[in-house]
Structure 1
Amino acid sequence: MHLSQSARSVSALLTRWRFLASSSSLSLPLPNSSPAAAPALAETVWTVPLHDHPWYDHVRLKRVFVTDSTRHRVVMVDARKLLECADRDNTNYVLKPVTEWHAGKVRGIREFLDPDNSRIPQMPYVTISTRRAPGLLGWFGIEREGVVAFRNGQHRARYLVDAGARWFPVEVHEREAALLREMCGAPDDARTAIRPTTVDGGGNA
């Protein structure tokens, strides 16, 4: 009789344990389940017209730094003025004109900037300083000229100019934004023609 009662007690404990185990397993995720996809974040995009480009007539550019805490600003620049200042850079990183590039490089940049791509390229990121201008006024420190160096995006900037872009946005640290506008800033027409728009993370307006 004693063994029978012990057996019944053990059986009852096993039954209770199985019930608790099966109940707790209901709240666990399935091994093959995946979390819901996070919603795509909105992006601000600038559409730059191209006036001498048979493959497509515009490109889309987005910011390099997307949070205000980075202390960078977007400045609309005159394309020709920007390259004039960039050609003064003496760090030996001034690219040749697009007409002298290797065919593979030209094709690669063209495909990279294609507005049909789902991935939106970043705008050029630059820094600017000044130096004495040539001539007597420069010698006396009265006249100065801008010197632009590319942190990123020199190939795309030169390609855009070759493709007929008159103006496009670049990003610069806030300390240099006023100087960049003074030396290379685009006219008010540019800010009217190239307005930022908001698209979702998939690149749709």
Structure 2
Amino acid sequence: MLSPEPHLEVAVGAEPVWIVALRRHPHYDHVRLKRVFIDDGTRHQVVMVNAEKLLQCANRDDTDYVLRGVDDWHAGKVRGIREFLDPANARIPEMPYVTITQRRRRGLLGWIGIEHEGVVAFRNGQHRARYMAYAGAETFPVEVAEREAELLISLCGA
């Protein structure tokens, strides 16, 4: 049985691979993910996020495409993402790539600038993130621009 916390595996001469345990998934018990931006000069960072917190912030995004929960996906979409993430595949999927901002929370305390909330937008990997959470991943890695990493950690970090 895998640890519920993602861990990193690095084979000699290969790029790092994160292993994410799935607690409620009958088809396989983990997924493998790799970085989107491999070159360190890209100024992106891997952050371990709490799946529930990340999706709460993503659900607040009113500017980009926000998916419904996996239960509302058609069977072909569920099968497709399940097959895409299958660790038996030779190809390793990239981890979700996100951006995060902060805005005033709705209501009086937000209006006067006292309360704020995080808003996550997916640049890639929204299906992966929602499916992993649905399958029981409590935490998983995402990639984010360095300048946004601290905010992501403070609002959604594992």
% identity of equivalent residues: 72
Matched, 1:72 2:44: yes
Matched, 1:153 2:125: yes
- Which residue in 2 is equivalent to 1:90? 62
The code of the aligned residue for 1:82 comes to L
1:92-171, aligned counterparts within 5 Å?
92-171=64-143
Pick the structure with more strand per residue.
2
Residue pair 2:98, 2:142 contacting (<8 A) in 1 also: yes
RMSD: 1.1
SS in 2 for 1:43: coil
Residue pair 2:52, 2:133 contacting (<8 A) in 1 also: yes
Residue pair 2:47, 2:141 contacting (<8 A) in 1 also: yes
* Cα separation, 1, equivalents of 2:50 and 2:107: 25
- Which residue in 1 is equivalent to 2:148? 176
* Cα separation, 2, equivalents of 1:41 and 1:152: 26
* Cα separation, 1, equivalents of 2:148 and 2:58: 15
Q: Which has the larger radius of gyration?
A: 1
Q: Give the TM-score, by structure 1 length.
A: 0.70
* Cα separation, 2, equivalents of 1:41 and 1:66: 13
In structure 2, the gaps of 5 or more residues are 1-11
1:177-196, aligned counterparts within 5 Å?
177-186=149-158
Give the counterpart of 2:35 among 63, 69, 80.
Answer: 63
1:91-118, Cα deviation, whole Å (9 max, x unpaired): 2500011011111110000000000111
* Cα separation, 2, equivalents of 1:182 and 1:107: 34
Pick the structure with more helix per residue.
1
In structure 1, the gaps of 5 or more residues are 1-39, 187-205
Residue pair 2:64, 2:121 contacting (<8 A) in 1 also: no
* Cα separation, 1, equivalents of 2:145 and 2:63: 20
Task: Report the count of equivalent residues.
Answer: 147
Runs (4 or more) in structure 1 with deviation over 4 Å come to none
SS in 2 for 1:171: strand
SS in 1 for 2:31: strand
Q: Give the TM-score, by structure 2 length.
A: 0.90
1:123-163, Cα deviation, whole Å (9 max, x unpaired): 00000001101233211112110000000000010000100
How far apart are 1:41 and its partner, in Å?
Answer: 5.0
* Cα separation, 1, equivalents of 2:119 and 2:107: 17
The code of the aligned residue for 2:72 comes to E
SS in 2 for 1:95: coil
1:53-90, Cα deviation, whole Å (9 max, x unpaired): 00000000000000110000000000000000000000
